[in-house]
Amino acid sequence: MAQRPSGCSSRPRSNVSRATAVLAYCLFVACKPASTETAADVRVVSAEPRCKKIGVVEGAGGDGQHARADALEQAAERGATHIMLEPAHPDLEDGMTTIVTGTIYACPPPDEVFPPAGYP
């Protein structure tokens, strides 16, 4: 009878436990709030800044924290420096998702004069 190498189990590996581990990892990654340095650089403001308005983003998540993180990530991807967020509210289509809407702005660095020449 052949000997098993040390460290090998006598029972076969379960595909179910492997699938469970993969599913748990995917859920963890998908539900993890955005924490990239770029998203962290987007400044949340409570009043409309005197900057160029880029547009609107809509973050979605299982709760307000994740929806806010999604909105900040989208703002960073679009080059925003500032975001003015609306209060979180449930998605009326499915009732299980939370939505956070934000107006995004591109503001010059603090050392630049604003508004620049030619700005409307």
Is residue 85, in this structure, part of any structural domain at all? Answer: yes
Is residue 86, in this structure, part of any structural domain at all? Answer: yes
* Rg, C-alpha atoms of the chain: 23
Is residue 32, in this structure, part of any structural domain at all? Answer: no
Is residue 8, in this structure, part of any structural domain at all? Answer: no
Q: Is the pLDDT of residue 90 over 80?
A: yes
CATH number at residue 100: 3.30.110.70
pLDDT of residue 113: 56
Is residue 101, in this structure, part of any structural domain at all? Answer: yes
Q: Tell me the three state secondary structure of residue 10.
A: coil
Is residue 68, in this structure, part of any structural domain at all? Answer: yes
31 burial (CB, 10 Å; 0-12 / 13-18 / 19+) is: exposed
Is residue 2, in this structure, part of any structural domain at all? Answer: no
Q: What percentage of the chain has pLDDT greater than the value 70?
A: 61
Which structural domain range is residue 80 located in? 39-106
Is residue 33, in this structure, part of any structural domain at all? Answer: no
pLDDT band at 108 (very low <50, low <70, confident <90, very high): confident
| Per-residue model confidence as pLDDT tens digits over 45-79 | 999 999 999 999 999 999 999 999 999 999 999 99
Count up the domains in the chain and report the number. Answer: 1
Q: Is the pLDDT of residue 1 over 60?
A: no
